[in-house]
Amino acid sequence: MGNSTLVTVNGNDISTPEAVRRDIMHDNEFLKGAIQELLIREYAEENDIHNTEEELQVAADEMRYMRGLESREETLQWLDNTNQTIASVQNGLDYQILRNKVRNSIPEDEMRAYFADHKVDFHSVDLYSIRVDSRQVAEELYAQIAEDGASFHELAIEYSTDETTAPAGGYAGRLTRDDVTAEIEAAVFDADAGDLVGPMETEKGWNLFLVKEVHEPSFEDVKDRVQLDMFSDLLAKLKAEADVEYTLFE
C-alpha cells in the first residue's frame, strides 16, 4: 500500500488525490466540511468566540451517553472501531460547540432587519392540487368548481392523476416559495386564500391549484429559520472571500 492510498475496498485502492478529485468533481461534503471548519474557526478567533473546558466536558459526557459508552474500556473500543483518537474527538466536539456559538452570535436586531427585508420569503400556503393529462380536462374541472360549485377535493379524489395528493383530496402540504417551481410560485403566492388557480401546465401535466390558506408568520414564528438563513449567508461569504488552494496537486 503506497503512502498516497486513502482507503482500500475489497483489495482495490483509492488514492488520496483521486478521492479528492472525486469530491471536488461531485461537490461532496468531505472537503466542503473541512474547509468550512477552518473558516468558522478563523471567524470565531477573530470575533473572540471561544469554548471553555467545562463546555467541552459536558459535550464529551453527552456524546458518551448518547453512544452508550459507560466505561473507559467501552470508550477506548469505540475509538478503535471508528479510527478516532481522543484528540480527534475533542477537536470534533470543540468545533460543534464553536459552530453553534457562531450561529447564535448573530445579533437579534440584524435578524429582525433581515426578516423585514425578506418577509415574503417566509410566507407559506396550504395548497391543494388536481393534476390531469390535458388542458381540456383541466378547463372542464375548473368550470365545475368555479361555476357549478363542485367540490375541489372530491374532484381531486376522482380525477387527479397525482397518486400522492389525490387520496387526500388534493392536499399538497403547507408549502413555501422554495418548495415549488418559479412558475407555480408566481401564480400561487400572488393569490388570496380561497382562490382557484389554473389551469397551469407543469412538467407532469395540467394542474389546478386551490390556495386554502395563506400564512404570513411573525419574526418570532420563524426566528430560528432566519438565524439559519443568515448563518448560511455568512458561510457563503466566508467561502467566497477565502483563498482556497489544493496544494495536494502542486
* Residue-level pLDDT at 3: 60
Any idea which residue has 483563498 for its cell? 243
CA angle 141, 135, 126 (to 5 degrees): 55
What is the model's pTM? 0.79
Cβ atoms of 103 and 223 closer than 8 Å: no
Averaged pLDDT, 47-54: 96
* Residue-level pLDDT at 6: 84
* Residue-level pLDDT at 200: 94
Tell me the Cα Rg of the chain: 26
Tens-digit pLDDT profile for residues 62-119: 999 999 999 999 999 999 999 999 999 999 999 999 999 999 999 999 999 999 999 9
Q: What is the largest CA-CA distance in the chain?
A: 76
Q: What's the rounded Cα separation, in Å, for the pair 89 and 163?
A: 46
CB neighbour class for 170 (10 Å; exposed up to 12, middle 13-18, buried from 19):
buried
* Residue-level pLDDT at 18: 87
Tens-digit pLDDT profile for residues 212-242: 999 999 999 999 999 999 999 999 999 999 9
Tens-digit pLDDT profile for residues 156-190: 999 999 999 999 999 999 999 999 999 999 999 99
* Residue-level pLDDT at 2: 47
Instruction: Quote the mean pLDDT of the chain.
Output: 93
Expressed in percent and rounded to 5, the helix, strand and coil fractions of the chain are 55, 15, 25
Share of the chain above pLDDT 70, in %: 99
Other Cβ atoms less than 10 A from the Cβ of 9: the count is 7
Q: What's the rounded Cα separation, in Å, for the pair 245 and 243?
A: 7
Helix intervals (H) in 52-134? 53-66, 72-81, 86-104, 108-117
